[in-house]
Amino acid sequence: MEFSIPLAFEWRHLLFANWPIDPDRLDAHLPDALSVQTYDGAGWLTVVPFVNVDTRPRGLPERVGIDLPELNLRTYVTHEGEPGVYFFSLDAPSVAAVLGARLLHRLPYYYARMNCRWTGDEMAFSNRRLHPGDRPAHFEASYGPDGEPFTPEPGGRAAFLTERRRLYTEGMDGAVRHTDVAHEPWTLYPATMGVAENTLFEANGFDHPEADPVCYYSPGVDVVTTRSKRRDRNGGLTDRLAAVRDRFDG
């Protein structure tokens, strides 16, 4: 049996930098139970730098939360027809947060040194992964909105790359697990991005994609998550029990 904690936080100053990639190249890096989800015939790799604000267990007041920048590399998958996100790596500058996410949520977090600064119209973000025993990963970029805000249309590319309400992981027993995420619809902007360095792809075993990225910026959303739940073949009994427990937790 695995234990996890439902969380609440605000995601702020997000960049979604999205590269199309051959689905077969992605499939080789996924657990067998997950399938690549494509848009316009391509799989996608997405780099997302942002800041978690007031991170805390769900139900606790904002004043006890902590602020943590984060950088992740993710793709888009399905499990038994249900779409979601799969993370190849997530970097954060807190040893406690990294260990907690690895142990409680089975997410591939790595310790990194990070700096980020919002100047009023642009975010300067840098990351140096320092996790013992793992490949170094460096990312340094500036990004910000460039254009008019919009809400992603259902079925469109922007919605495919951003409107994700489930993430998949593997449990200690190899079973697929999922965590559901709730927030208001995204407000997005076309984004500009200037990259000084990016070795995230190589650190995760990918060649750097050749195509130019499709970039979106969002000022952010407020977020709550469920516990991590095991994907059973018993009619979803574990999911139903976890949903009841989540309701009691508020």
Checking if the pLDDT of 1 tops 70, the result is: no
Predicted confidence band of residue 171 (pLDDT cuts 50, 70, 90):
confident
- Domain architecture of the chain: domains with CATH: 7-249 (2.40.400.10)
Predicted confidence band of residue 4 (pLDDT cuts 50, 70, 90):
confident
User: What tens digit of pLDDT does each residue of 181-235 get?
Assistant: 999 999 999 999 999 999 999 999 999 999 999 999 999 999 999 999 987 654 3
Place of tokens 């904690």: 5
User: What tens digit of pLDDT does each residue of 126-149 get?
Assistant: 999 999 888 889 999 999 999 999
3-state secondary structure of 122: coil
Predicted confidence band of residue 3 (pLDDT cuts 50, 70, 90):
low
Neighbours of 189 (CB within 10 A): 17
User: What tens digit of pLDDT does each residue of 67-102 get?
Assistant: 999 999 999 999 999 999 999 999 999 999 999 999
Predicted confidence band of residue 37 (pLDDT cuts 50, 70, 90):
very high
Predicted structure pTM score: 0.91
Predicted confidence band of residue 53 (pLDDT cuts 50, 70, 90):
very high
Q: How far is CA 55 from CA 44, 51, 52, 81, 223, in A?
A: 28, 10, 6, 31, 10
pLDDT at site 2: 57
- Which long-range contacts (C-beta less than 8 Å, at least 24 apart) are formed by 59-64? 59/6, 59/8, 59/249, 59/250, 60/8
